[in-house]
């Protein structure tokens, strides 16, 4: 059996902007599970598959783009990489920078980053600057610094290399299913991932690897849904902090993905997001972070409103790992699931006699 050696050293290498001179900086990202959801398939009457991007080395899809961006930054002789982030990009940038022996600085919104993501950046040795403001303020500051100083910006907006890496998710899905799905659902924040995923499907179709491309259904949190309203949201709010973005940098790309694919970008409430987040773990055994569940929440919302035709082949990207945000998991833990007891009392507390009768 051939072991998986990361995206750049995989069969996808010809699809990536690297050359023989590019030093490969990899943590064996990609090759993530594509799992069928019996639960979601039964509800919707579709064939629903989950692309579990939380299985990447730093726990999110960001690693696909980061292996390319940091490899090329190392090739170009960069010393310091910088990014703005709601948490996942910063964790990924910090990890790949550490592996390449580069310094990393990450700009994050103070008070709105899941603790696990900050912990990652700390452990990978990045300089963390917490900004009083949102992601959009962080991104403006990072772009400004990169324009005035010789540092490598690894946000997807300043860095097409990131999107090229993120396209690989579409290649993996098409190769695993033997065709492109009919429909691809995913969360949308800054707009990079829907853009890259769509570009990936298109590139595969253009090369004759698939015969069609899916409609792209992107979902933003209702309190942070600028692409749905068609205007920036000055003070975005959602408990799904990963997608708390008011002015997406890849605005045009996201709308192009929507329109060229005949898809939609819709809004889902935090309540819908957290319900999907809970069910993914409790029904499918997949613990994804809250923002990751927006694609599932959107799929179910459209189904409930009669806007999803049954019988379709559907893929939903689960963008990040639930372990990053233990606080969110415990905050609304159903009381019935937690109790305390003396050791001798456990059987009674669990009502084992009744449960196993
Ligand atoms: N899901 C998760 C878990 C994310 O971290 C992000 C974006 C998205 C979805 C949305 O993807 O921005 O390409 O539309 N996180 C960025 C970050 C903003 O800084 O980690 P997008």
Residue of 158, 243, 265 to mutate, ligand 1, most atoms within 8 A of C-beta: 243
Structure tokens at 344: 């001798």
Average pLDDT over residues 151-178: 93
Residue nearest to ligand 1 atom 4, measured at CA? 242
Distance 53 CA to ligand 1 centre (A): 12
pLDDT at 159 over 90: no
Q: Which two tokens stand for residue 15?
A: 């699809």
Q: Whose CA is nearest to atom 19 of ligand 1?
A: 85
* Residue environment code for 289-298, b if the CB has 16+ CB neighbours within 10 A, otherwise e: bbbbbbbbbb
Residue corresponding to tokens 């773990």: 281
What pLDDT does residue 160 have? Answer: 85
Distance 62 CA to ligand 1 centre (A): 8
E strand or H helix at 121: helix 115-123
- Pocket around ligand 1 at a 6 A CB cut-off: 60, 62, 85-89, 135, 187-193, 242-243, 245, 289, 291-292, 319-320
Q: Does residue 111 have a pLDDT over 90?
A: yes
Tokens of 242: 């990963």
Instruction: Note the pLDDT of residue 1.
Output: 64
Of 119, 129, 131, which Cα lies nearest the Cα of 95? 119
CB 67 within 8 A of CB 29: yes
- pTM for the complete prediction? 0.97
For the beta sheet containing 264-268, the strands, ordered from the edge strand earlier in sequence to the opposite edge, are 34-36, 47-52, 313-318, 183-187, 215-221, 264-268
Query: Percent of the chain scored above 70 by pLDDT?
Result: 99
Ligand 1 atom index nearest CA of 218: 14
Mean pLDDT for the chain? 96
DSSP string for 303-325: HHTT-S-TT-EEEEEE-BBGGGG
**Both tokens assigned to 186:** 């995913």
Question: Which residue's CA is the nearest one to ligand 1's atom 15?
Answer: 242
User: Can you tell me which atom of ligand 1 is nearest the CA of 186?
Assistant: 9
pLDDT bucket at 20, cuts 50 / 70 / 90: very high
């Amino acid at each position: 059996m051939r072991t998986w050696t990361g995206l750049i050293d995989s069969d996808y290498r010809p699809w990536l902007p690297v050359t023989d001179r590019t030093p490969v900086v990899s943590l064996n990202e990609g090759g993530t599970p594509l799992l069928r959801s019996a639960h979601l398939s039964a509800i919707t009457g579709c064939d629903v598959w989950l692309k579990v991007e939380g299985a990447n080395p730093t726990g999110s899809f960001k690693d696909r783009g980061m292996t390319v961006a940091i490899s090329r930054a190392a090739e170009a002789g960069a010393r310091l990489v910088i990014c703005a982030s709601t948490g996942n990009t910063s964790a990924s940038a910090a990890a790949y920078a550490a592996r390449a022996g580069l310094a990393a600085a990450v700009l994050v919104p103070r008070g709105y980053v899941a603790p696990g993501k900050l912990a990652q950046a700390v452990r990978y040795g990045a300089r963390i600057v917490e900004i009083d403001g949102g992601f959009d303020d962080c991104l403006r500051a990072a772009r400004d610094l990169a324009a005035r100083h010789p540092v490598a910006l690894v946000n997807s907006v300043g860095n097409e290399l990131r999107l090229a890496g993120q396209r690989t998710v579409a290649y993996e899905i098409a190769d695993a299913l033997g065709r492109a799905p009919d429909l691809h659902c995913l969360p949308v924040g800054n707009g990079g991932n829907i853009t890259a995923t769509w570009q990936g499907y298109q590139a595969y179709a253009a090369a004759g690897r698939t015969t069609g491309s899916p409609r792209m259904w992107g979902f933003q949190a209702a309190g942070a849904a600028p692409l749905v309203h068609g205007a920036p949201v000055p003070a975005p709010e959602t408990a799904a902090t990963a997608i708390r973005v008011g002015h997406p940098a890849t605005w045009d790309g996201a709308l192009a993905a929507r329109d060229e694919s005949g898809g939609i970008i819709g809004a889902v409430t935090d309540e819908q997001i957290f319900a999907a987040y809970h069910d993914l773990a409790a029904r499918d055994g997949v613990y994804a972070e809250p923002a990751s569940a927006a694609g599932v929440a959107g799929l179910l919302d459209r189904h409930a409103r009669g806007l999803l035709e049954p019988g379709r082949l559907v893929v939903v990207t689960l963008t990040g790992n639930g372990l990053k945000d233990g606080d969110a998991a415990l905050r609304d833990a159903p009381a019935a699931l937690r109790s305390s007891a003396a050791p001798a009392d456990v059987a009674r507390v669990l009502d084992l006699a009744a449960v196993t009768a």
